[in-house]
Amino acid sequence: MEITRSAALVAGGVVLGLVAGGAATAVAVTSSAKTVKVCVTKSGVVRAANAKGTCPKATKKRAVGVRGRPGARGPAGARGPAGSAASVRAWSAPVASNVPIDGYDVTVTGVSLPAGQYVLSASVDIANAGLPSGYMGGISVVSCVIPGYETSSFYLDPDGTYINQDESLSLDSTVDHPGGQLTLRCSRVWNSARVKKATFTATRVGALG
């Protein structure tokens, strides 16, 4: 047997070699070893070293690689099937600007949606439109609402005290919507206000956590 063909086999950190008479000789090696020493006769037969690690006469000590050369790269696998379409879709209501708020539940903007579960988000820049000579010194108390969320009330001073004082409001919620129109609405108490700009978006999701 030629050592260049199969002088030793490595499996699980053990080198197996053939000795005279067909018996197998095992030489243990550590997993970190790169080579292992074996005793080989002129005819390529692997023999075991003695207890002191010395090779018998008429043999030579050879280093056998524990790890062989990397094999050739296999062919590319078949392309997998196409994934399913994304279940997330978003809608945006028309951007609102300069909307007067002269009462309760004034619709600022809205969007019609199919039935489904949605994450809603709105932003509102709202300002006092009263005068210092008005009721309660022209102060306007404002709040806005979307399905599932209503802001706190905000007190805005009128023009003439703080010129066009405004407030930026953020509204976020989740709803299980049966289908139809969803709206962003604002209300005022005491004196008028106006929405300078407002946006309202709805993102449909597969499920609400």
- Which residue in 182, 154, 179 sits closest to 168, CA to CA? 154
49 and 109 part of one domain: no
- Give the mean pLDDT of 35-40: 76
Residue 21 lies in a domain: yes
- Comparing 95 with 135, the larger pLDDT belongs to 95
pTM of the model: 0.55
190 and 115 part of one domain: yes
- Which residue in 205, 208, 198, 204 sits closest to 122, CA to CA? 198
Six-digit token string for 118: 């949605």
**CATH code of the domain containing 149:** 2.60.120.40
pLDDT of residue 65: 65
100 and 198 part of one domain: yes
Instruction: Give the residue numbers spanning the domain of 50.
Output: 3-65
Maximum average pLDDT range among 38-42, 71-75, 99-103: 99-103
186 and 94 part of one domain: yes
Residue 76 lies in a domain: no
pLDDT of residue 37: 75
- Give the mean pLDDT of 158-165: 56
From 15-19, 33-37, 66-70, the region with the lowest mean pLDDT = 15-19
Question: Is residue 20 exposed (0-12), middle (13-18) or buried (19+ Cβ within 10 Å)?
Answer: exposed
Residue 77 lies in a domain: no
102 and 44 part of one domain: no
Tally of domains in the chain: 2
Q: What is the pLDDT of residues 66-86, one digit of tens each?
A: 666 788 888 988 888 887 665
Residue 75 lies in a domain: no
Q: How far, in Å, CA of 8 to CA of 16, rounded? A: 5
167 and 101 part of one domain: yes
Other CB atoms within 10 Å distance of the CB of residue 65: 12
Residue 109 lies in a domain: yes
129 and 46 part of one domain: no
116 and 34 part of one domain: no
Residue 83 lies in a domain: no
Residue 84 lies in a domain: no
Residue 146 lies in a domain: yes
38 and 128 part of one domain: no
- Comparing 207 with 205, the larger pLDDT belongs to 205
- Give the mean pLDDT of 152-159: 80
Where residue 192 falls among pLDDT bands split at 50, 70, 90? Answer: confident
pLDDT of residue 209: 52
pLDDT of residue 172: 95
Other CB atoms within 10 Å distance of the CB of residue 68: 7
115 and 197 part of one domain: yes
Where residue 146 falls among pLDDT bands split at 50, 70, 90? Answer: very high
49 and 103 part of one domain: no
93 and 158 part of one domain: yes
Percent of the chain with pLDDT over 70: 72
